[in-house]
Amino acid sequence: METKNIGLRGIEVADTRISNIDGEKGKLIYRGYDILDLTKNSTFEETAYLLLYDDLPTKEQLAEFNSKLIDARYIPKQMQKNMGNWRKDADPMDMLQAFVAALAGYYDEEFANKSASYDRAINLIAKIPTIIASWQRIRNGLEIVDPDPSLSHAGNFLYMMSGERPDPEVEKIFDVCLILHADHTFNASTFTARQVASTRAHMYSAASSAIGALSGELHGGANTEVMKMLLEIGDLDKVEPWIKEQMAKGERIMGMGHAVYKTYDPRAQVLKEMSRKLAEKTGDKWFEMTERVETTTINEMKKQKDRDIYPNVDLYSASIYYMLKIPVDLNTPIFAISRVAGWGAHIIEEKFAEAAPKPALYRPKAVYVGKYCGPQGCEYKKLDLRK
């Protein structure tokens, strides 16, 4: 008999102190703090500290943390040189996964030292934006822009990518995007990172595997698919017939629906308002089109299946990044810039059992539904006897 627990949906596999989702109420909590409160009052650097160290930092702790991030932003010149050997049309997520794994060849890796694990997590948080920005410059035949120690984490990435210091409002919008994406309990990439860490693999290996999981269109790649959808539709007047046609064919509308939330994704609430403000600033049509996708999908789902559906984090983040002039294929790598803070926290929790202890490594049980020839197994026939 086939199992009903496909994809471990609803199966509790470990305790965590890092984040929590209330899918019924539409709540996301980082270390006890509501995500909506953090987006109003915090910064990505402060939120990353919270996720790693289980508490908000003091002024002195935040200054020291920022200093470590700034010092760690540079990546080896040899790594940037190696990027030049890649095809310029290579998938940025493949590039990112490869070079994050390669970091282990440049930096010492811990085996059982918790303090060193925090340093490795900071190293990853600091370097992933530089890896992505370097690739963006290299593949376009442009000079690499070195990190600017005077800029925030969000502002520095935008600067390294474009070569221009960002507008303060744009920098703040991007900073909030990073806060919103920083963690989301045991999602596919985070669970992948924890699973690899449970084998006692090192931090860079676990983070690289998480990037691989994030690259899929049903996870981190979803916001890229949303923007492709908007570009394919093209105009506001075409949204409604396009959505109706796709839903009539049973196609999924990217950016709508979530495996956990049964109401509005709280991150989508924040992103929707930021997309609205950015559209007012730029005069672009993408917010209006995205909102029309949302309302049409909600109405059609109710009409066709008598079910409620709500936007997830990907629906409005796509239009925000596009209006920030970020290439569509960098949407998912930017997700990694943020989510690496959560990955680092989860890898440390997994390896050092901060929550309740669990078995040494994950080993779920599968239900075999393949060929069955009896209790003795199938009879092996030599090659010349097979038909």
Other beta carbons less than 10 A from residue 362's beta carbon: 16
**Rg value, the chain, Cα:** 22
Instruction: Please pick, among 183, 258, 265, 346, the residue that the annotation labels catalytic.
Output: 258
Strand runs labelled E in the chain = 19-22, 27-30, 33-34
**Is 181 an active-site residue?**
no
Q: How many Å apart are CA 75 and CA 208, to the nearest integer?
A: 16
Sequence letter at residue 118: Y
Residue 81: burial class (beta carbons within 10 Å; 0-12, 13-18, 19+)? exposed
Q: How many Å apart are CA 319 and CA 383, to the nearest integer?
A: 58
Sequence letter at residue 298: I
Q: If we measure between CA atoms, which residue out of 280, 141, 166, 123 comes closest to residue 157? A: 166
Task: Report the alpha-carbon angle 81-84-87, nearest 5.
Answer: 155
Q: If we measure between CA atoms, which residue out of 24, 9, 34, 4 comes closest to residue 308? A: 24
Instruction: Please pick, among 181, 183, 314, 346, the residue that the annotation labels catalytic.
Output: 314
Instruction: Please pick, among 22, 54, 94, 219, the residue that the annotation labels catalytic.
Output: 219
Residue 38: burial class (beta carbons within 10 Å; 0-12, 13-18, 19+)? buried
**Is 314 an active-site residue?**
yes
Q: How many Å apart are CA 337 and CA 157, to the nearest integer?
A: 9
**SS3 of residue 147 by DSSP:** coil
Q: How many Å apart are CA 298 and CA 285, to the nearest integer?
A: 20
**Cβ partners under 8 Å of residue 373, min gap 6:** 379
**Is 346 an active-site residue?**
no
Catalytic residue positions? 219, 258, 314
